[in-house]
Structure 1
Amino acid sequence: MRHAHTVEQVRAAEAALAPAPLMERAVAGLAAACARLLTRRRGRVYGSALLVLAGSGDSGGGALFAGARLAGRGAAVSAVLLDPGRAHPAALAALRAAGGRVTTDQEVGLADFSRADLILDGIVGIGGRGGLGPAAAVYATAPRAGLLVAVDLPSGVDADTGEVPGAALRADVTVTFGTYKPGLVVDPGAGHVGALHLVPIGLRPPQAPVEALQHADLAALLPRPATESDKYRRGVVGLLAGSERYPGAALLAVAGALRGGAGAVRYQGRPAEEVVRCHPEVLLTAGRVQAWVVGPGSGDDTPEALDDALASEVPVLVDADGLSELARRGPGALAGRAAPTLLTPHAGEAARLLGGTVTADQVAAARLRHARELAARFGATVLLKGSSTVVARPDGAVRVNPTGTSWLATAGSGDVLAGLAGALLAAGLTPWDAAPAAAYLHGLAGRLAAGEPGAPVTASDVAAALPAAWRDVAEGGRPGGAAGLGD
């Protein structure tokens, strides 16, 4: 599990320790990471060109100290000061003593930026708010040939939320210290991070408000049938999905449920004949279920379907048309429900559920904030779909999905996810576990279906890849991703 802590939590943990050893460990880890990158790129550190973009505070100081260490190994290091009056004095002195060149001329800095082998982004640290100033913002769009390494997080990204209020640097690698920060794992900020490397420095922060599951965490959650299992013990999921206009939604949701481990699927919807023709395993008879999925493509049948599902005493997943109906009814529709509810909106649906006070773009730009608000307002677990899927509980706890591919932005992908999550709910997982587990498997299946370096996939391809994703997790493999530094 990756744990991401807020700036306040990090500062409190740092205050409990002596500052000098913390800085020393951070600088040593940063310099070592840069040395490895330079060695991969040029075969050695000696003779390479390195530029330090130094702002004020510890981020700028750490970048300057790391530059001094690399200058001591023969790198040609220059630094451009973005806030000369507040540059870290000891770090500045160390760089100069090691032979580094320092300038405050931004034209010189931009020239070095375009030709350096490696650039250290130490402009703004984790305490920065409100985006970059004009002088720093020019580096966000300036041409460069070398690798950009962010110190703790890319400048311009909000550490606590992942929001990017203006210009922000886009790193190839981010070296962060002590613990992860929410802004490193939640989009849009996560899209600026590149490969992510954690340097332990001895911090002992409290419980993290944001988590990201890894392979081992998911392997521990996945249900496995015992020798005495039957379809009922494995979990029967009820599906209230599909319509004459959207029969494919039913087919895809059923596919997600069947390949997501459901012991059986009880289907209720208009395109029943098409569903059974495609999936002969499906049950059309009424009977006991352990969870309901309602809404994918359900059309005019949605109000009655939602009533039936919410009146049940089992977990209910509400998706698509069900969310639109829920938005019309408001949070009161879930009041008094004893069994748990899982909502799975995309940004546009989330905006409607929030009463139209925000747009879909605003939801996507502040994913943590709006997922938490939605969970608190409806008293339900929320899986907010998108470039980084966020799962929020009413108490504010968040899990972020690290898997996926942009090829998953295809029609019907969400229907597969709904069926998969419903199957995990029926197997006995809580929404807090079922939602991130489903998102992880769905994202991994998308990667496997798309392959490397990636190719178009359909929702059916994603559903077909779910067993392979399940096996990959169960066998303890590591998900694919950008090459990092061994983290």
Structure 2
Amino acid sequence: MRTAYTVETVRAAERALMARLPHGALMQRAAAGLAAACADLLGKVYGARVALLVGSGDNGGDALYAGARLARRGAGVTAVLLSPDRAHPGGLAALRAAGGRVASAESGETALRRADLVVDGIVGIGGRGGLRPQAEALVRAARGFVVAVDLPSGVDADTGEVRGAAVRADATVTFGAYKPGLLIDPARSYAGALRLVDIGLEPFLPPVPDAEALQHADVAALLPRPSAESDKYRRGVVGIVAGSARYPGAAVMAVAGALHGGAGAVRYAGPATEAVIARFPETLVTAGPPSKAGRVQAWVVGPGLGDGSDARRALEDVLASDVPVLVDADGLRLISPDALRERSSVAETILTPHAGEAAVLLGCAREEVEASRSSSVRAVAERYGATVLLKGSTTVVAGAGAYTGPVRVNPTGTPWLATAGSGDVLSGLTGALLASGLPGVDAASVGAYLHGLAARELGAGPITAMGVAEELRGVWGDLVD
């Protein structure tokens, strides 16, 4: 599990640790880890040209001390000082003693253009807002590989927001713990490859992080596995209420996600029966309302359903059931907070909006949701009393109501998933996991992980929703093995 903590939490842990260490020891640990990472990236340190972009405060101090270590190994290191009067005095003295050079912001562009490696030590994790014009101009001058110290300058460590110009790093070396912004877009796309340096914070961090990202081993441990005594009901039967005369394919995609996602059986209730049976003859179908379809362990409702009176009746019928329900797409336009909160004591509900649908649910602009995905997913979950999977460039999951657990951040996926029907496949897959008995947060998180992993396996290029569904079996097997 990759865990992340807010700036306030990290700062408190740092204070507790520093109280037990000699003065300056924590910064030296960070600088040593940063220098080692830079050396690994350079390959050959001796003779390499390194430029440090140095702001005021400890972030600049980390860069200066790391630069001193590289200079002692034969690198040509130049520190470009954005605030010469406020540069870390100890770090500056160490760099000069090791043979490093110092340049002002006005004269530093040449060093930045010539550097093999540029270290971004402009702003630390407490920074807010974008880069100032002088810093932005210097960043643009850099031509070499860019390494950010703790996080790229100009991004918000807690939310992942980018409110102006920011450093686009090729790699980020972060200290003690990941910060949520390093895992969540848009900031994640600025961070490049991540490397965590252990500086001894772990004993001082709380047991529950602010955000977390599942890894292969975590997902493998959560995947349901049939036993010798399993039948289709023990494996989980999922009901699908999706599709319409206009969008029969939505039903096919949702059923595909469920069948390839481990469901013991799929019951379909809706107007796209012919299309579903033509592609998946193993599907159990009904012409009546969902409540007459037969026994299920979970429902998926909404993809391609439309917003007419038949759709409303089908949604109400599903929400009246006593099993978990996943609501997606058109179903999200028909729900009310009161209806969902009423059923929260009966069974779990998962909502799977994209940013535009989440904006409607919250009554705000889409841009607000995309800029602050972590707080937005929590807000929808609290307002509707449901577990929420917020789809997008970074898919995030929050538990129902006033959820105090970490936001789950999905680390898999690809922009090629922005294709028709892929969300329907995700709904069917997640519904199957829900029917197998996984709790809402786990079902949503594992579903997003498998969905993204399947898309990655298809390679860098155009993919189809059905291609993603058909790839699920392979990635499932790889994880279990």
Shared fold (TM-score greater than 0.5)? yes
- Answering whether residue 138 of structure 2 is matched by residue 132 of structure 1, we say no
Which residue of 1 is the match for residue 169 of structure 2? Answer: 171
Given that residues 139 and 169 in structure 1 are in contact (C-alpha distance below 8 angstroms), is that contact kept between their aligned partners in structure 2? Answer: no
In structure 1, the partner of 2:116 is 117
Q: Which moved more, 1:19-28 or 1:165-174?
A: 19-28
Distance 2:110 2:332 in 1: 52
Give, in whole Å, the separation in 1 of the partners of 2:178 and 2:154.
17
1:23 paired residue among 27, 37, 41:
27
The corresponding residue for 1:307 is 316
- RMSD, aligned CA: 1.1
- Superposition deviation, residue 473 in structure 1: 1.4
Find the aligned partners of 1:249 and 1:275 in 2 and give their Cα distance: 10
Distance 1:82 1:305 in 2: 62
Q: 1:122-271 maps to which residues of 2 (within 5 A)? A: 122-140=121-139, 142-204=140-202, 205-206=205-206, 207-271=208-272
1:290 matches 2:289:
no
Task: From 351, 359, 364, give the equivalent of 1:351.
Answer: 359
Give the match for residue 7 of structure 1: 7
SS at match of 1:335: helix
1:275 aligns with 2:276: yes
In the alignment, the residues of structure 1 paired with residue 70 and residue 89 of structure 2 have an alpha-carbon distance, to the nearest angstrom, of 18
Aligned to 1:429: 438
Q: Distance in 1 between matches of 2:382 and 2:111?
A: 49
Once the two structures are superposed, residues 224-279 of structure 1 have per-residue CA deviations (whole angstroms, 9 ceiling, x without a partner) of 00000000000000000000100110000000000000000000110101101100
**Matched AA of 2:232:** K
Aligned to 2:289: none
Aligned length: 461
| 1:345-376 deviation per Cα after TM superposition (whole angstroms, max 9, x unaligned) | 00000011112xx2212211111111111111
Tell me how far 1:121 sits from its aligned partner.
0.3
Unaligned runs of 5+ in 2: 287-292
Quick check: 2:160–2:187 contact (8 Å CA) kept in 1?
yes
TM-superposition CA deviations, 1:199-220 (whole Å, max 9, x none): 1111031120100000000000
Distance 1:287 1:110 in 2: 71
Instruction: Find the residue that maps to 1:312 and give its secondary structure.
Output: coil
- Cα offsets for 1:422-443 (capped at 9, x unmatched): 0000000011100010000000
Is it true that 1:342 corresponds to 2:341 in the alignment? no
Instruction: Classify the secondary structure of the residue corresponding to 1:461.
Output: helix
1:380 is aligned to 386
**Alpha-carbon displacement from aligned partner over 1:183-205 (angstroms, at most 9, x marks no partner):** 00000000001110001111031
Q: Does 1:405 align with 2:414?
A: yes
Shift of 1:144: 3.7
The Cα of 1:99 is off from its aligned counterpart by 1.1
- Give me the whole-angstrom Cα distance separating, in 2, the residues matched to 1:91 and 1:24: 10
Looking at structure 1, the residues matched to 432 and 230 of structure 2 have their Cα atoms a distance apart, in angstroms, of 15
Q: Distance in 1 between matches of 2:304 and 2:464?
A: 17
- The 8 Å contact of residues 350 and 387 in structure 2, kept in 1 or not, is answered as yes
- Residues in 1 aligned to 2:58 and 2:374: alpha-carbon distance in whole angstroms: 26
Equivalent position amino acid for 2:67 in 1 = G
Once residues 465 and 138 of structure 2 are traced to their aligned partners in structure 1, the CA distance between those partners, rounded to angstroms, is 39
Q: Could you say what secondary structure the match of 1:224 adopts? A: coil
What residue is the counterpart of 1:38 in the other structure?
42
Amino acid at match of 1:20: G
Identity of aligned residues (%): 66
**1:73 aligned to 2:73?**
yes
Contact kept, 8 Å, 2:176 with 2:199, in 1: the verdict is yes
Q: Using the alignment, how far apart are the partners of 2:152 and 2:329 within structure 1?
A: 35
Are 2:369 and 1:363 equivalent residues in the alignment? Answer: yes
Q: Which residue identity lines up with residue 230 of structure 1 in the other structure?
A: D
Q: CA deviation at 1:143?
A: 4.7
**Aligned position for 1:63:** 63
Between the aligned partners of 1:456 and 1:418, the Cα distance in structure 2 is: 21
Letter aligned with residue 326 of structure 2: L
1:84 is displaced (CA, Å) by 1.9
Q: Secondary structure at the match of 1:120?
A: strand
Is 1:323 the equivalent of 2:305?
no
SS, match of residue 268 in structure 2: strand
Cα distance in 2 for residues equivalent to 1:279 and 1:68: 65
Structure 2 counterpart SS, 1:29: helix
Counterpart position of 1:480: none
The match for 1:84 is 84
2-structure distance, mates of 1:398, 1:105: 40
Describe the superposition over 1:43-97 as per-residue Cα deviations: whole angstroms up to 9, x where unpaired. x111110000011121110001000000001100001111222211000110111
Provide the C-alpha distance between the structure 1 equivalents of 2:76 and 2:341, rounded to a whole number of angstroms: 65
Other structure's SS at 2:79 match: strand
Distance in 2 separating the partners of 1:10 and 1:400: 19
Structure 1 residues 280-312: Cα deviation after superposition (integer angstroms, max 9, x where no partner): 110014211000000000113321121011101
Q: 1:439 aligns with which of 445, 448, 462?
A: 448
Q: Specify the SS of the correspondent of 1:362.
A: helix
Distance 1:380 1:310 in 2: 12
Q: Structure 1: which 5+ runs fail to align?
A: 476-487
The aligned amino acid for 2:470 is: A
